[in-house]
Structure 1
Amino acid sequence: MPEIVAPAFTNAIALLLVSFLLLPAPTAAILIPTDYLALQSIRKSLYDLPGSFYFASWDFTADPCTFPGVLCRNDRVVALALGDPRAGSPGLSGQLSPALGRLPALAELSLVPGRVSGAIPSSISLCSSLRFLALSRNMLSGTIPPSIASLAHLRVIDIGYNFLSGTIPPLLTRLPSLSTLILSGNRLTGPIPTFAPNSPLVRLDLQRNRLSGPIPVSLPTSLHYLSLSFNQLSGRIDHILPSLRRLTFLDLSSNSFSGPIPGSIFTLPISSLRLQRNYFSGDLHPSVPVRIPYIDLSFNRLGGRVPAALSDAEWLYLDYNRFIGEVPTVFVDRILKGEMRLLYLQHNFLTGMAIGPPSNVPMITSLCLQYNCMVPPVQTACPARAGLQKTRPAEQCPKWGKV
């Protein structure tokens, strides 16, 4: 299954277009001078990259409310989409002007992916009506202005994939209306701040930073999407995740989490469960048949028998663990029927799998059994990471291979 990459900017633009539709129809008016001058300053600080023509029609001898990306209501600018949002646009360069803070009625601010650099102006906090902020996939640097946390109406913050550093402002996660927080792909350090008890947050994406410490116990129970992968987070998750009953996507991969994986996690309405490359240990005990299509638990320290309850997964990665015993026959049935697209069991201590000749394995299925306490019953193509050795050395098997 191809890697799922969250389309942060695409989602942001979609949300912005929806919000535009929800705004009342603009009425004819003359833009007030402060907003007019603010737009001029914003224009002077930004430039079209070669191949972009976004500013070509920003002619200040005309009404600025007719400019591409500018939406007015009465005599104020209420939405500003900087750059051409069409696919393939090279975006803008330059810096964000502090003059953005002179647009007090601004409710929507977005910036297409490009090469805009410099700091996020702290003056944005003066846009007291701001509900939507999307500045992802540029070259913004410096810290996240703590003053953003004073914008009580903010619903969406997407400033992912920039060069932002420092810590996440503690009050940012306590904004009362915030439903989407995307800070992924930056250089943020320190802990994840605590959340307000009644936070309405639905999407939290902090992947690919340098965050450390445990997951806060106050994660909002409203969460549907949680991605914390590729950080330096640690601790146990068994006292946190069971309360997140609405999760549909969970990615905690490439951290230093430890302890058991709670059985209740397999009852969540998740479509993709990614816990690989951590230090999870112990046996797996799903309480019911698991209906999660994509499960990756590879590169951990999980042991015991492979649970038959996991056989309904279409993509299942259990490689590089400490599983023992025979592979349940229900996995064989699913593979031979072409109902499993991938089953990786290499680098465990398994002792057998009752499967016939490799010709019986459907072409659409990837099966790898290398480096266990058995001669692989079928010789199927394995990924390069499985190595060349077919069977684990005998001296490693008595302790782990016996049932």
Structure 2
Amino acid sequence: MAARAAHPGVFLLLAAVLLAVAVQPAAATLHPVDYLALQAVRRALSDLPGSGFFASWDFTGDPCGFAGVSCSGGGRVVTLALGDPRAGAPGLSGAFPCAALARLSALSSLSLVPGRVSGGLSSAVAALPSLRFLALSGNLISGNLPGAFSPALRTVDLSKNSFSGRIPSSLLQIRSLRTLVLSHNSLSGEIPKTVSSPLVHLDLRNNRLSGGVPPLPATVVYLSLAGNRLSGRVGGVLRRLTRLSFLDLGGNWFSGEVPGEVFSFRIGYLQLRKNAFSGELRPAGWLPSGSTVDLSHNALSGLVPAELASAAAVYLNGNKFAGAVPAEIVAAAEGGRMRVLFLQDNFLTGISVRGVPSSAAIYGRNIVRGTRVRWIWFVSMSAIAIYIEKLGAKKCWALCYVISNEMTTDLLLNGSNCYEVQLVLTPPYLL
């Protein structure tokens, strides 16, 4: 039987490779397939105005010396960092060159600075066998996420693009994956039920995800699911994340109690605002000094726990807290250790304040009775504003509000160290 004739395209590709090598002797250190792939990348992408990234991409020289290109000793491209990485530098434009990039079979790191690169991301690129680092944040890449990813991946950052559809379950089962950032896209559906990757950093905020939160690995240190449509109870999930230092679940539909164990973690940022959490707060410990806690706009009730006094900023506004504000919290606010304290829109009935604070605090719209308040300081529009200057070499001023309470005694005590007070009253509020 006669041998089959080779496809004409094979000869064309071979001829192109041989020609490239023949006329570009300086490029002989780079594998011919990679050489052609870089040429295709250059044709697909352009500098945005003000960017000079591609100025060094002169193919009369060795491409292994191009900006953003690193090669192995065997002449294969292993790192491709497209664009000027300096903060504020213009990025690139054009169509994401999947076909060309898929030919870089030894590629271990692929990054693209924020710009205006569009198109899709194919499995042929995402599943390159040696790929460990993939970062394409801040572009216009769209479509579904690939169905296959490299088993070697440790970091994936596809944030601030236009990806849609579901998160593929295969992505969360990569045994080497430590960092996954898919925030600021249009991803929908549920988070995959099985998360076996040993994730340390998981950021899925500002998408359209729905349903509950599956069990997450105890390795997670940073978790952000804010700005989605997630719901259900999260106590069981959070209790096992003892290494958390950053937690943001704000702007979802989570319900049930906030697990007290979370407050005993070494967590510096706890953001649960705008959910449907309810019940009393029962912290299992004191938060780290200097931390931020935002539990605003939920349905939390009971007493304000004194354990929050160690935080630097506390937002409890828009809940159903009742009773008196603990002396520990007042002392922290007065002394400046707690820089921000928001308590408005609750059912608090007692505030004991001894002097002019170094902090910003809100107590408006509670039911404080018979309390002599020297200062209440916060920053939102109100009907009664008190401008205060403090005596001494270092002058300061505060914008203070006390509306919608039921004040029955002096607003400011005699002998206060405030020497200038201006009241601005608007109906129907009267002093």
Give the TM-score normalised by the residue count of structure 1: 0.86
* Equivalent runs, 1:83-102 vs 2, <5 Å: 83-97=83-97, 98-102=99-103
1:189 paired to 2:188: yes
**Which position in structure 2 is the counterpart of 1:7?**
none
Q: Which structure: larger Rg?
A: 2
Please point out which of 214, 230, 247 is paired with 1:233. Answer: 230
What amino acid sits opposite 2:336 in the alignment? G
Which residue is 2:4 aligned to? none
- Is residue 382 of structure 1 aligned with residue 378 of structure 2? yes
Q: Deviations over 1:119-175 (max 9, x none)?
A: 113320452100000000111111111122xx1000000010011111101111010
Q: Name the Cα RMSD after superposition.
A: 1.8
Partner amino acid, structure 2, of 1:157: V
**In structure 2, distance between residues paired with 1:258 and 1:341:** 29
> How much has 1:200 moved relative to structure 2?
1.7
Q: Which amino acid aligns with 1:178?
A: L
The residue aligned with 1:291 is 288
**How many percent of aligned residue pairs carry the same amino acid?**
49
Q: For residues 4-403 of structure 1, what are the structure 2 equivalents within 5 Å?
A: 30-73=29-72, 74-97=74-97, 98-125=99-126, 127-148=128-149, 151-197=150-196, 199-217=197-215, 219-291=216-288, 293-356=291-354, 360-362=356-358, 365-374=359-368, 377-384=373-380, 390-391=403-404
Check whether the contact 1:252–1:274 (CA below 8 A) recurs between aligned residues: yes
In structure 1, the residue corresponding to 2:102 is in which secondary structure? Answer: helix
Shift of 1:290: 2.8
Q: Deviations over 1:75-105 (max 9, x none)?
A: 1101100011122211100011121110110
Please, what TM-score do these two structures have when normalized by structure 2? 0.80
Unpaired segments ≥5 residues, structure 2 = 1-26, 385-401, 408-431
Q: 1:48-78: CA deviations, max 9, x gaps?
A: 0011111112111211111111100121101
In structure 2, how many angstroms separate the alpha carbons of the residues matched to 1:137 and 1:289? 38
Q: Tell me, what secondary structure is at the counterpart of 2:169?
A: coil
CA distance in 2, matches of 1:280, 1:85: 41
Which secondary structure state, in structure 2, belongs to the residue aligned with residue 43 of structure 1? helix
Distance in 2 (alpha carbons) for counterparts of 1:385 and 1:202: 41
- Counterpart position of 2:19: none
2: distance between equivalents of 1:286 and 1:385? 32
Cα offsets for 1:279-318 (capped at 9, x unmatched): 0000001122332611000000000011111111110001
Instruction: Rate the CA distance shift 1:183–1:387 in 2: closer, same or farther, 3 A.
Output: farther
Alpha-carbon spacing, 1:206–1:387, altered in 2? closer, same or farther (3 Å):
farther
Gaps of 5+ in 1: 1-27, 395-403
2:368, 2:406 within 8 Å by CA — same for their partners in 1?
Answer: no
Alpha carbons 1:134, 1:158 under 8 Å: kept = yes
Q: Aligned equivalents of 2:321 and 2:280: distance in 1?
A: 8
Distance 1:323 1:236 in 2: 21
